[in-house]
Structure 1
Amino acid sequence: MHPHRYFDPDPATRAIATDLYARVESLPLVCPHGHVDPKMLATNEPFPDPATLLVIPDHYVTRMLYSQGVRLEQLGIPSRDGTPVETDPRKVWQLFADHYPLYRGTPTGAWLQDEFEGVFGITERLSGANAMAIYDHLEACLARPEFLPRALYERFNIAVLCTTDAAGDTLEHHQAMRAEGWGNVRPTFRPDMAVTLSHPSWHAEIDRIGAATGESMATYASFIRGLEARRAFFKSMGATATDHAVLVPRTERLADADAAATYARALAGTATAEDADRFAAHMLMELARMSVDDGLVMQLHPGSFRNHNTRIFDRFGADRGCDIPIATEYTRNLHPLLNAYGNEPGFTLVLFTLDETTYSRELAPLAGHYPAVVLGPPWWFHDSIEGMLRFRHMATETAGFYNTAGFNDDTRAFPSIPARHDVARRVDATFLARLVTRHILDEADAHEIVVDLSARLVRKVYRLGE
């Protein structure tokens, strides 16, 4: 890979970007939000075959293949309806390699190439012709001790890694790592199943919370106590943040009696769709109130139409690359929450979006005013080279750099973590270099800011220490 990849082609800008990037290239990785399975690090078992590691679980990879006519059955993705799927990982890998040109010009292609070269020492471009030779090389790597999960964690220079965990999770793997004294892996409290009355696992999730806390969960009051108790447990296990995914960031404070009645209808199985929507809006208010009380940073990820392809969801379940962004409105939807808690000095709300049109119109102005609001980095479809540049161009003039939360990789694909951070650091170096060459920013300031964007801001926003 070219050492100056992603930098501006203008020689003066590129020279400054190169110097800025050198300041942060080797800084430890701070990963405040992601979806790495803590079991992987707790057990430290060898990774499976290359296809199971790099293709089958990565919906960034599989959605592109599906869009070009490759069936998910051919990729070995487990079905939940009994559909037979491919079980030979070599066949899955060959199919992936045959279609590797599909990733040209995409962030997935950049991450994959960085993984192949930076993690596994493969400089040859993957193709159908060399697929099996590269598979054999990867398989041999994965059998060696230096490619065990913990060895890679240390090799990647990860300072802290936060997972995403349901409210009812036991956190047994986090407990095991803490008891052993290994690593800095922290849980993140995600109560989506518990506060979404229409979720198919809602009853099971509140039962888990009740079992873990001793609360009956038979009333709204006990439900709230159960959530508060779980937050306290997560915090005792090192959590510094919560995470919430909603379709629409609607917030509304219900009267206690209305919330209790809605909860009772949900227990009885008679809650309506409007009940579910209003209860979710009310619970965002309650969860913000809890964050004011206990200091956990609140992350909000709205705007994803989950499982848009019903046929794929029915056959293979969630997280198969079928989620599609929708237009999202923040100013009116968050007005109740921000008027209640946005001025509280102990409250931090990190806002994400899949709707780039909101950067300059809504999100940057909100972050540029409310002390509690911080902008999360470009997310999902936009955590790309051009997506990150668009974010900086559209948000910086109003929100500045210091109302943003640095970078997080938001990944399930553990080997891609260094590549994702590297892309972000190169893009930020490029953006800052452009400001310097246009005499908007002093070069000395740019050298300070690039470290802030790579390391200091994320630690400050997520309360992860110096």
Structure 2
Amino acid sequence: MSLLHPDRLFPADSTTREIARSLFETVENLGIVSPHGHTDPVWWGENPAFENPAALLVQPDHYVLRMLVSQGVSYAALGIGPGAESDPRNVWRTFASHYHLFRGTPSRLWFDHALSEVFGIEKRLSPETADESYDAIAAALATDAFRPRNLYDRFNIEVIATTDSALDDLSQHHKASESWSGRVVPTYRPDAVIDPEFEGFADNLDLLGEITGCDTGTWNGYLEAHRARRAYFIKMGATATDHGHPTARTADLTPSDASGLFDRVRRGTCRAEDAELFRAQMLTELARMSCEDGLVMQLHAGVHRNHNTAVFKTIGRDRGFDIPTQGSFVEELKPLLNAVGMDPRLRLILFTLDEDTYTRELAPLAGVWPCLRLGPPWWFHDSFEGMRRFRQMATETAGFANTVGFNDDTRALLSIPARHDVARRVDCAFLAELVTSHRLDEDEAFALAPQLASGLARAAYNL
């Protein structure tokens, strides 16, 4: 029996389901546009073979880690951190013995999709099938067909964006562009040099100055350093920036006040309020730069990162302890929007982990400010129910055109086709329901389906 039912995620009502099926047939095999994600640039630059099933599918996936940790599985048992298990087969067995924990979760859908569609495995993962599946996956990973560039072609990816520090030399992007025809573009992520609470902030500013030849000891020199790095990213194919901030707060200080604030954060003498104000000011400054150079802005706000201090100190970032927080956008974005929000050159894509803001704030904001677009549900909400709620809560006010389709936002390469499959099924089901409730004509639904699948993302990110 197949792990994947052909009608998964489609409506139970037979008439609506039939329309959803027909819509899905038109988008199922469209190329994947992945405008925001976290795949390792080394994969594209060097095209290495993946180590083993555990290193590929378990250890880098924070969805998997957080569920297992919540049920008492140690990081060490997963091959991570002090005292880590050194045998990847044992890590895989631990994962398989807890696979039942993922029932009803998006991780289960994505993982079953990878097992079935990528590796041809149709037995559900369990303690009994752990070794058999490990051997099958390991054997596949030893072949050239499962190297990253070949998977890019197999998954029908048209373009994929990585997320790269402002301090990255983009050497792997150089290697990829010189030796391969696949389209992989960087994204400018300046958090390490605009967040005074980021570890090593002062040293990061020194390095930014060394890289650019700008004087990052002064406010104007610091801004010039950003412009120089952005220009380099654009030269390497970048079309977007990305900003991961605790809040969506923005500010528009006078030049003298901004310079004074920079002096305080540069000396390391600022308080938490100064750090937040500096991040807020930099969002507006970078929005102005986007008006100049055309880079699309993305703001991922509302995450309390590294909630477990001990795990952060001993193991590091992205280990499952990032938690959504309450968000707000109306007052927070007002300084930036009043400064440059009507400039036709600016596009700012907003993401949230606080669903309450969809109807109260985000859809109304995107429904009037011409620079704003709504990013799809991400992280904790990139699921069947999360995507449905987003469409239901945002569409009536913002429409479809003020959204940007779907992006997978993942570092897990094998889940990319699975995530796009889920998004396309959810959108086709939503469109089918609009048709059967006579809110949309069928020809309009067929026109919208490919836009939601890839067209809106391609346009929004200038791809």
Q: TM-score range by the shorter chain?
A: over 0.9
2:191 counterpart residue number: 192
1:356 counterpart residue number: 355
1:32 counterpart residue number: 35
Deviation string 1:28-54 (CA, Å, 9 cap, x unpaired) is: 000000000111111011001100100
Deviation string 1:58-98 (CA, Å, 9 cap, x unpaired) is: 11101000001101111011x3xxx2111110110000000
Aligned to 1:337, the other structure's residue is in SS state: helix
TM-score normalized by the length of structure 2: 0.98
What fraction of aligned residue pairs are identical, expressed as a percent? 53
1:103 counterpart residue number: 102
Deviation string 1:308-335 (CA, Å, 9 cap, x unpaired) is: 1222212211110101111101001001
State the one-letter code of the partner of 1:280: R
Runs of 4+ aligned structure 1 residues displaced above 3 Å come to none
1:13 to 11, 16, 31: 16
1:179 counterpart residue number: 178
Answer whether contact 1:31 1:158 (CA < 8 A) is retained. Answer: yes
2:450 counterpart residue number: 451
Answer whether contact 1:343 1:370 (CA < 8 A) is retained. Answer: yes
Aligned to 2:242, the other structure's residue is in SS state: strand
- Rounded to whole Å, the distance in 1 between the matches of 2:48 and 2:250 is 43
Answer whether contact 1:13 1:434 (CA < 8 A) is retained. Answer: yes
1:114 counterpart residue number: 113
Answer whether contact 1:168 1:206 (CA < 8 A) is retained. Answer: no
Shift of 1:230: 0.3
Q: How much is the aligned-residue C-alpha RMSD, in angstroms?
A: 0.9
Map 1:30-429 onto structure 2 (within 5 A).
30-77=33-80, 79=81, 83-429=82-428
Aligned to 1:332, the other structure's residue is in SS state: helix
State the one-letter code of the partner of 2:147: L
- Rounded to whole Å, the distance in 1 between the matches of 2:124 and 2:206 is 50
Shift of 1:209: 1.7
Answer whether contact 2:46 2:176 (CA < 8 A) is retained. Answer: no
Shift of 1:181: 4.4
- Rounded to whole Å, the distance in 1 between the matches of 2:174 and 2:48 is 17
How many residues get paired? 460
State the one-letter code of the partner of 1:56: Q
Shift of 1:428: 0.2
Answer whether contact 2:44 2:173 (CA < 8 A) is retained. Answer: no
Extract unaligned runs of 5+ from structure 1. Answer: none
State the one-letter code of the partner of 2:36: H
- Rounded to whole Å, the distance in 1 between the matches of 2:246 and 2:10 is 35
Answer whether contact 2:251 2:335 (CA < 8 A) is retained. Answer: yes
1:4 aligns with 2:3: no
Higher alpha-carbon deviation: 66-75 or 203-212:
203-212
Answer whether contact 1:350 1:374 (CA < 8 A) is retained. Answer: yes
Aligned to 2:160, the other structure's residue is in SS state: strand
Higher alpha-carbon deviation: 335-344 or 196-205:
196-205
- Rounded to whole Å, the distance in 2 between the matches of 1:320 and 1:166 is 19
State the one-letter code of the partner of 1:45: P
- Rounded to whole Å, the distance in 1 between the matches of 2:69 and 2:411 is 19
Shift of 1:199: 1.2
- Rounded to whole Å, the distance in 2 between the matches of 1:69 and 1:20 is 43
Aligned to 1:241, the other structure's residue is in SS state: coil
State the one-letter code of the partner of 1:409: D
- Rounded to whole Å, the distance in 2 between the matches of 1:460 and 1:267 is 38
Shift of 1:261: 2.1
